Amino acid sequence: MRVRLAPIAVAAVLAGSAGAACAMSNSEHQPAGCRVLGGERLPVESGGADGLCKAIADAAEAQAPGVGYDIEVTVLPLSRLSASVTLRDGRKLPEQNFARMDKPLSSGAFRRFATAIAGELAKAGVNKS
């Protein structure tokens, strides 16, 4: 019986590692410290999760260079975004929210959301304890 279970165990291990590889490749282009939950809801033409993380990274570099952060953005229904931001020193910023009522989310909307987040990062970086 053990002989017949070995191929099943090997197949299960291979299937699990293949799933992990797919999960990693989905966020492969997102800057470290940026995760987007529900990114499949973003319009393709917006740049998707990668475009959103890039907009945040670019804005943070411009407004708050050197301020380390981890961010988790949740894509909500009706063209809304919510972000949880934690500074590398462990401090949490107030939750950031963005809604676009008249049009779907776009790269321009991402830049506006990213600019607001970067502004909060800059304030937090200046007020470091």
pLDDT tens per residue across span 48-83: 999 999 999 999 999 999 999 999 999 999 999 999
Which stretches does DSSP call E strand in 38-111? 69-76, 80-87, 96-99
Give the pair of three-digit tokens for residue 108.
Answer: 């321009």
Rounded to 10°, the helix 48-63/107-126 angle is 40
> Which residues contact residue 70 at a Cβ distance below 8 angstroms, ignoring those fewer than 6 apart?
33, 34, 85, 86, 88
Predicted local distance difference test score (pLDDT) of residue 31: 52
> What would the pLDDT profile of 6-53 be if each residue is shown by its tens digit?
444 444 444 443 333 333 334 344 456 999 999 999 999 999 999 999
Tell if the pTM clears 0.85, that is, is over it. Answer: no
Rounded Cα distance between 53 and 89, Å, is 21
Q: Facing residues of 87 across strands?
A: 69
Give yes or no for residue 86 having a pLDDT over 70.
yes
Residue 55 has what DSSP assignment? Answer: H
Residue 84 scores a pLDDT above 70 = yes
Instruction: Give the amino acid at 107.
Output: S
Query: How many whole angstroms separate alpha carbon 37 and alpha carbon 55?
Result: 16
